[in-house]
Amino acid sequence: MELEMWNIFQTSRGANATMILSVTIGIWIAARFASVARENDAPVLMKAIISVFALSGFAFGWMVITRALNSWVVQASALSSLEESGTELSPLASQFVEMYGGEFMTNPGLIGMAYLVSGLLIAILPLWLKDNR
């Protein structure tokens, strides 16, 4: 049963990786839109639309990364339940439960937050800050 649970967990990691890739592409698109808007001296309405897009991408990224991290908590909880039912866990599974068991996360962790905030700033700051040229 433990092996089946690891297989399901691995499948979910593939889906999570795809979603995180979509976040990365979204950040790149927002930054590219901002770059083009700045080069073409876009009107304020266009800058506002790009900013809303970048903020939406930030919120989406926050949700995606948090859910991806929570899949680890779910796996640890499932393995813990398996152990409580009387099944002996492998040493790896026991260490996994110790490390990732606990409460669900409500944020993407420090690295995820740094990544999302920097992506947001890369997209928004060039739109609204004056160039010193």
Instruction: Let me know if residue 31 belongs to a domain.
Output: yes
Find tokens 């068991």 and name the residue. Answer: 101
- Please count the other Cβ atoms lying within 10 Å of the Cβ belonging to residue 88: 9
Taking only the tens place, the pLDDT of each residue in 68-124 is 999 999 999 999 999 999 999 999 999 999 999 999 999 999 999 999 999 999 999
Instruction: Let me know if residue 133 belongs to a domain.
Output: no
Reference 64, options 102, 26, 7; nearest CA is: 26
Phi and psi at 75, nearest 5°, equal: -60, -45
Instruction: Let me know if residue 70 belongs to a domain.
Output: yes
Percentage of the chain lying above the pLDDT 90 cut: 92
Reply yes or no on whether the pLDDT at 132 is more than 80.
Answer: no
Residue 34 and residue 120 in contact, taking contact as beta carbons nearer than 8 Å: no
Number of domains in the chain: 1
Q: Cα separation of 101 and 114, whole Å?
A: 24
Instruction: Let me know if residue 118 belongs to a domain.
Output: yes
pTM of the model: 0.87
pLDDT band, residue 131 (cuts 50/70/90): confident
Instruction: Let me know if residue 49 belongs to a domain.
Output: yes
What's the whole-number mean pLDDT along residues 8-24? 94
Reference 30, options 13, 47, 42; nearest CA is: 47
Residue span of the structural domain in which 68 resides: 2-128
Q: Cα separation of 62 and 59, whole Å?
A: 5
Instruction: Let me know if residue 112 belongs to a domain.
Output: yes
What pLDDT score was predicted for residue 133? 63
